[in-house]
Amino acid sequence: MTPFHIVVCGSLVPDPLQTLEPTLGPEGPGLKNEMMLPSVLDPWAGHALYEAASLATKHPESRVWLVSLGPKARLQQLMMSIAQKAKFELVAIDSSASGFIDAQSVARTLATAIDEIDGLDKNRLLLFGGCASASRDAGVTVQMVGELLGLTDQFLAVDELEARDDGSLRVLERIEGGKYLASTVRGAPAVVAWATGKLPEPPNNPQVGMQNMRTILPALQKAKAAIPNRNSIHYQEVAIPQQKRETRVVKDMSVDEIAREIADWIRG
């Protein structure tokens, strides 16, 4: 079986349970108390990482890198929670993880960092990432990184990747109407931007965590700082929409009456 060199792009996003409030400062928009907000690995990037680790275990001598762009201190905290989940080598980039940073600026930084990975064989490269993020949510970054790296076989919103014995990869991409587009690419290199995939979140494995920490701490120490380009996009306004509705609470109607009212509403 062909070993893969899998590079997963993924970073931190605010914990989805946190209430977010935008602020507009001299450098552009951000989140109130952004540096203090609890953060998690972006959910789709997490799926990509778990799929990468699973694929690597089935293909001996494969390697997995996690390329992560964010404030160094917060990346360190993030690693504490994900290091035990999957085996990977960290490539850290010290920069803002704000969703308001232009995706193209982020993509160029990531592509440069991937280009500089020591020992990466681009003929075996599978570039993984989430199909969108829970911060910028543009759904463009991984494709841009792929294009910058010259990868012309790209797949978006992938739920399944099967590496076959002949080296080809069969991919299922989500398309409209709850269907899948099935494709086969001759083999690596390719870009795979994951949706949820098929795997559950792996349980914590302290042994994997110990192995990972040997490379994570040096990677964090030598993380290069990257200054994002904030000039390409000009924000006029960022706001939380006021969508509070006056909810009518119906407590004392019979089931028959409720069903009739809903049926009438559906029929419109």
Partner 1 sequence: METILVLLHIDESGNLPRIAFEALGAACELRHGGNANFAIGIIGGDIESAAGKIGGCGATSFFGVSHPALEVSRYGTDLAALGALVEKVAPTLIVAPSTSRFARVLPGLAVRIGGQIDTHITSIDPGAEGDAVFAERWYYRQRMKAKFTRDARPWILVVDGGAFEPWKGETGSVALQMVSPWAEGGPGDNVTRTQVSGIETGESGTQTIRPDADLLFVAGAGWAKKQADGQTHVPKAEKLILGFLEGAKASLGSSKSLVDQSSEGQAVLTCLSHLNQVGQTGTTPRHQKGLATCCHGEEPHVVGWRFVQERRAVNLDANCGWARGKADVVYVADAFEVVEKLNDLLGV
What residues numbered 70-99 form the site for partner 1, per CB under 8 A?
99
By three-state DSSP, how is residue 181 classified?
Answer: strand
Containing 199, the helix (H) or strand (E) segment is: none
Q: How far is the CB of 110 from partner 1 (least distance, A)?
A: 12
Q: Left (φ > 0), alpha (ψ -120 to 50) or beta: where does 150 sit?
A: left
* Binding to partner 1 in span 180-209, by CB under 8 A: 180-186, 191, 195-196, 199-200
Q: Does 36 bind partner 1 (CB under 8 A)?
A: no
Pick 20 or 117: Cβ nearer partner 1: 20
Pick 185 or 223: Cβ nearer partner 1: 185
**Amino acid at the residue 97:** A
Q: Does 3 bind partner 1 (CB under 8 A)?
A: no
Determine the interface stretch with partner 1 among 15-23, 77-85, 121-129, 206-214 (rule: CB under 8 A): 15-23
Among 11, 12, 14, 87, binds partner 1 (CB under 8 A): 14
Alpha carbon 107 to its chain's center: 13
By three-state DSSP, how is residue 89 classified?
Answer: strand
Rounded CA separation 6/33 (Å) = 34
Question: With contact defined as beta carbons under 8 Å apart, do 105 and 237 qualify?
Answer: no
* Binding to partner 1 in span 96-115, by CB under 8 A: 99-100, 102-104, 107
* Binding to partner 1 in span 157-176, by CB under 8 A: 157, 159, 172-176
Name the token pair of 127: 């570039």
